[in-house]
Amino acid sequence: MKNIVILISGSGSNMAAIVDAAEQGRWAERLNARVAAVLSNRADAQGLRVAQAHGIVTGVLDHKAFDSREAFDAALMAEIDRSSPDLVVLAGFMRILTPGFVAHYEGRLLNIHPSLLPAFPGLDTHQRAIDAGCQFAGATVHQVTSELDHGAILAQAVVPILPGDTADALGARVLSQEHLIYPRAVANFLRSTDSSRA
Ligand code: GAR
């Protein structure tokens, strides 16, 4: 059985979409995979309660309790590795990861970013897309490398920017597309790494 560990910092709606897809699509049978744990750097992350309601193991590691990014990432790696992950999924995990962390999970670390990468890495993506006069915005699922919001693109969703759009309105439309592409990208990734089906 392949183990997926999902990292969140907030509402965890992408995590919930992946958990729902795993349950409805019965990944356990089709893909021999399950969401083994959901971890957060914030104890107040709403998504933790959602995961618990699905009977998923949760954990909290408060980054403020660590002296350095390296120390936090080392503790986080230890916590993640308790689940022997085949795939680590960043779903609104709002921490910059150290090169050591990224190297440790190389080839099995995915992220979703709320822009059409390579446009608008970083924060405030929707406002920046509106301010730049873009006609389209969207979201990107990509492999994680040590360069922030770079790495091979696995899936994208495109959303039109409407006249008078606000960052919040656009962000909500993009988020609903994220919920479609992230579970699919995770399933595709698991399928592509399933040696028993080769
Ligand atoms: C999502 O829009 C995701 O793309 C974004 O945070 C939101 C998390 O929502 N991620 C980033 O900005 C990462 N740089 P969620 O907690 O409801 O899934």
Q: What is the DSSP string of the chain?
A: -EEEEEEESS--HHHHHHHHHHHHTTHHHHTSEEEEEEEES-TT-HHHHHHHHTT-EEEE--GGGSSSHHHHHHHHHHHHHTT--SEEEESS---PPPHHHHHHTTTSEEEEESS-TTSS-SS-HHHHHHHTT-SEEEEEEEE--SSTT-S-EEEEEEEEPPTT--HHHHHHHHHHHHHHHHHHHHHHHHHHT-GGG-
- For residue 195, name the pLDDT band (cuts at 50, 70, 90): low
Evaluated on CA atoms 49, 24, 172, 89, the torsion sign reads positive
**CA-based nearest residue to 191, from 86, 78, 118:** 86
Q: How far is CA 70 from the centre of its chain?
A: 21
183 lines ligand 1 (CB under 6 A): no
pLDDT band at 194; cut points 50, 70, 90:
confident
Residue 91 CA, closest ligand 1 atom number:
18
Distance 100 CA to ligand 1 centre (A): 23
Atom of ligand 1 nearest to the CA of 113: 4
Nearest CA to ligand 1 atom 8: 92
Q: Is the CB of 121 under 6 A from ligand 1?
A: no
* pLDDT attached to residue 68: 97
* pLDDT exceeds 50 at position 198: no
Q: Which residues are catalytic?
A: 113
197 has a pLDDT exceeding 80: no
Rounded to the nearest angstrom, the distance between the alpha carbon of 114 and the centre of ligand 1 is 7
Q: For the chain, which domains are there?
A: 2-197 (3.40.50.170)
Cα(92)–Cα(81) distance, integer angstroms: 20
Strands 109-113 and 87-90: parallel
**Atom 9 of ligand 1 has which residue's CA nearest to it?**
92
Average pLDDT over residues 100-128: 98
Output the residue whose Cα is nearest ligand 1's atom 14. Answer: 113
Report the C-alpha dihedral over residues 127, 112, 61, 10, rounded to 10 degrees. 50
pLDDT digits (tens, 9 = 90+) for 12-47: 999 999 999 999 988 999 999 999 999 999 999 999
pLDDT over 90 percentage in the chain: 95
> What backbone torsions phi and psi does residue 168 show, to the nearest 5 degrees?
-65, -45
Cα(150)–Cα(144) distance, integer angstroms: 7
112 lines ligand 1 (CB under 6 A): yes
Q: What is the mean pLDDT of the chain?
A: 96
Q: Of all protein residues, whose CA lies closest to atom 1 belonging to ligand 1?
A: 92
pLDDT digits (tens, 9 = 90+) for 119-152: 999 999 999 999 999 999 999 999 999 999 999 9
Percent of the chain's residues with pLDDT above 70: 98
Residue 196 pLDDT > 60? no
Q: Is 138 in the pocket of ligand 1 (CB under 6 A)?
A: no
Please answer whether residues 155 and 177 qualify as being in contact, where contact means their C-beta atoms are separated by less than 8 angstroms.
no
Identify which of 41, 113, 120, 150 to mutate to test ligand 1's pocket (most ligand atoms within 8 A of the CB).
113
> Count of alpha carbons within 13 Å of 131, Cβ hemisphere only?
7
